[in-house]
Structure 1
Amino acid sequence: MPPSAPAFDPASATIAIVTFNRSHLLTGLLESISRMDPKPGHVVVVDNASTDDTPETVESFPERLGTTLVYRRMETNTGGSGGFSEGMRLAYELGSTWIWLMDDDVEVLPDGLARMGAWAPRFRSIQGRRYDYDGSEFYWQYRIAERMGIPIPFAPSGFDDSGYKAMNSGCFEGMFIHRDVVRQIGLPDPRFFIYWDDQVYGWQASRVTASVIVDEFVLRRTREIRQWDMGIRHMNASSDAYRYYIMRNRGHIKQYYRVHGVYNPVLFGLGTALTFGKEIIRLLLVERKVRGTSNLFRGLRDGGRISRDRSWKPMPPLTADGAQRTDA
């Protein structure tokens, strides 16, 4: 650790969780947080207008969680994108130095925060590792082919003695990010609703700070997903909604790329075509069906409209108190 680097204070961290109609999974995550040592200063739960017993579940935890719990119930389902944007906003307004994002279908390992905090003096955008539902080591695609805007599926999975690798992407299932980075790039964009939001946000973070994935297992997935085992990685089953947003949100990515001056129409078009082909493979080999392609075409159509919207603007930077800057 550099002599001038401040020591990590666990109380300066906030875990921000997004949940929707999965109170049984949220219960497992909150129970895992209650077993953590050390614990974060705050836990924020953003409820995307669940219709199950999520409010009652959250109400049962404040005393046994061992830290401050903040509950925010949204009026409508804003998707993972809207939920994480709101969760990060709340954590930022609480004065958190570090914000740790996660879905409700994971559990935190007892020493997870200590493991992430050990890297905090060196980096400001950090991704830990997680175990899959079956206990295997999950391979996360931490590098993207920037001009194509798609993950590199077989980027090296091993770590050298340094214990970290540079990344230019992000995953809201475990993103550990410093408030100074959030201030510079703004909140996650809720317009994505689901899909590509964390990749774009992690990519933006990597443009202003050294972003890394570290060889520290800090999470475990608690929900089983149908998969196609490809060896080094897996391809998960999807849904019609995901298929639609996977293609539609290419329009938002294109707009972000234009703003940052990295848009190449040929390479980005190739990335979109490869994404479309990947979803066809997912339908045939993972879900073993052919219905669902209409959602891909609808997404392409609507993404085209987004990419032609001249009024589109990126999420603005934040002020010190969390307000969005109007001069950006």
Structure 2
Amino acid sequence: MAAASERLDAPTTTPFDPASATIAVVTYNRSALLSRLLESIERMDPKPGHVVIIDNASTDDTTELVESFRERLGTELVYRRLETNTGGSGGFSAGMQTAYELGSTWIWVMDDDVEVIPDGLAKMGKWAPRFKSIQGRRYDFDGSEFYWQYRIADRMGIPIPFAPAGFDESGFKEMNSGCFEGMFIHRDIVSRIGFPDPRFFIYWDDQMYGWLASRQTTSVIVNEFVLRRTREIKQWDMGIRHMNASSDAYRYYIMRNRAHIKQYYRSLGAYNAPLFALGTTLTFAKELIRLAVVERTLRGTSHLFRGLRDGRRIARDRSWRPMPPLV
């Protein structure tokens, strides 16, 4: 992996070409939501050069739905159905690999539970000459502004929950994280940090990928609304931000995948044992609050402990290696 000092920060005078971009979508058994996303892509102007759909072995009518859009989408559609459910992490890894192999200069990744604002690609492309790792903004299901934690406490490996949400006249803020619900990334950065790590399965994968990107280039979140969530999620409105409901699977991977983050930090010389342990403790406490306040139960704590236990095995694995760079 390239050293952080060899950064790719030089702006370019080359105009953004929408045909050089690929939208990569990961879906699993949510054809109704996927249909809304594809309909929004159909309305886009301009459109990307390719749309890649990674199907995590859905058992519903996803295949038939995708094929029904092949002629009407107005751009080249690439459909790849995986043999097993590899989780969001495996899906985004496959999606980014497919887009990269298509020769895409820009890769725009997203889940199936969003829709694209019609001029979303033009809004992202406006920033493409200046930056190579870009995050746009999203509307929530109810049309409100969705707040995303764009900065992490570096050595603790956890999001800073109340980082300032406002933008100044520059229209962007530097970030050191990432979110696969809208990450817009240049192939040069992908070449340096490799594809997303499928070992995460779900959770923390995009934060880690965004952190790796920020070590190579200036990563930014821009004041451009480009996506809208189409799925309502139970949440606790805290005023400044929301806390969403979760699941037993998420609780498990939230704690287990701390070990993968620890291994990445070790491999890059960024690991601080006391601070990282504090980050793990705060994560555990946050999940207890989520259970008690959002879901109004304490059932599910066993999955947190099980994740910690399995994470210890990962952290002790001397054969563990980060995802390799492509160049």
> Tell me, what secondary structure is at the counterpart of 2:222?
strand
Q: State the shift of 1:4 in Å.
A: 4.8
Q: State the shift of 1:216 in Å.
A: 0.1
In the TM superposition, 1:190-229 aligns within 5 A as 190-229=198-237
Amino acid in the other structure paired with 2:33:
L
Report the counterpart of residue 275 of structure 2 in structure 1.
Answer: 267
Task: Determine the C-alpha separation between the residues in 2 that align with 1:300 and 1:104.
Answer: 30
Task: Determine the C-alpha separation between the residues in 2 that align with 1:56 and 1:316.
Answer: 35
Report the counterpart of residue 236 of structure 1 in structure 2.
Answer: 244
The correspondence for 2:324, drawn from 295, 298, 316, is 316
Report the counterpart of residue 305 of structure 2 in structure 1.
Answer: 297
Question: Can you list the C-alpha shifts for 1:61-80, whole angstroms capped at 9, x where unaligned?
Answer: 01110000000000000000
Amino acid in the other structure paired with 2:320:
W
Question: Can you list the C-alpha shifts for 1:273-319, whole angstroms capped at 9, x where unaligned?
Answer: 00000000000000001110000000000111101100000000114
Report the counterpart of residue 138 of structure 1 in structure 2.
Answer: 146
Is residue 2:165 matched to residue 1:157? yes
Report the counterpart of residue 90 of structure 1 in structure 2.
Answer: 98
Report the counterpart of residue 40 of structure 1 in structure 2.
Answer: 48
Task: Determine the C-alpha separation between the residues in 2 that align with 1:160 and 1:271.
Answer: 30
Q: State the shift of 1:96 in Å.
A: 0.1
Change (3 A) 1:270 1:223: same
Unmatched tracts of structure 2, length 5 or more = 1-9
Question: Can you list the C-alpha shifts for 1:71-96, whole angstroms capped at 9, x where unaligned?
Answer: 00000000000000000000000000
Q: State the shift of 1:45 in Å.
A: 0.1
Task: Determine the C-alpha separation between the residues in 1 that align with 2:11 and 2:235.
Answer: 46
8 Å Cα contact 2:11/2:130 also seen in 1: no
Change (3 A) 1:159 1:66: same
RMSD: 0.8
Task: Provide TM-score, normalisation by structure 1.
Answer: 0.96
Runs of 4+ in 1 over 3 A off after TM superposition: none
The correspondence for 2:77, drawn from 60, 66, 69, is 69
Q: State the shift of 1:3 in Å.
A: 8.9
Task: Determine the C-alpha separation between the residues in 1 that align with 2:114 and 2:23.
Answer: 12
Q: State the shift of 1:44 in Å.
A: 0.1
Q: State the shift of 1:143 in Å.
A: 0.2
Q: State the shift of 1:232 in Å.
A: 1.0
Unmatched tracts of structure 1, length 5 or more = 320-328
Task: Determine the C-alpha separation between the residues in 1 that align with 2:192 and 2:11.
Answer: 26
The correspondence for 1:168, drawn from 176, 189, 196, is 176
Amino acid in the other structure paired with 2:152:
I
Question: Can you list the C-alpha shifts for 1:200-224, whole angstroms capped at 9, x where unaligned?
Answer: 0000000000000000000000000
> Tell me, what secondary structure is at the counterpart of 1:64?
coil
> Tell me, what secondary structure is at the counterpart of 1:219?
strand
Question: Can you list the C-alpha shifts for 1:86-145, whole angstroms capped at 9, x where unaligned?
Answer: 000000000000000000000000000000000000000000000000000000000000
Q: State the shift of 1:193 in Å.
A: 0.1
Task: Determine the C-alpha separation between the residues in 2 that align with 1:60 and 1:199.
Answer: 34
Report the counterpart of residue 50 of structure 1 in structure 2.
Answer: 58
Task: Provide TM-score, normalisation by structure 2.
Answer: 0.96
Task: Determine the C-alpha separation between the residues in 1 that align with 2:282 and 2:268.
Answer: 23
Amino acid in the other structure paired with 2:286:
K
Q: For this pair of structures, how many residues does the alignment match?
A: 318
Change (3 A) 1:212 1:3: closer
Amino acid in the other structure paired with 1:42:
H
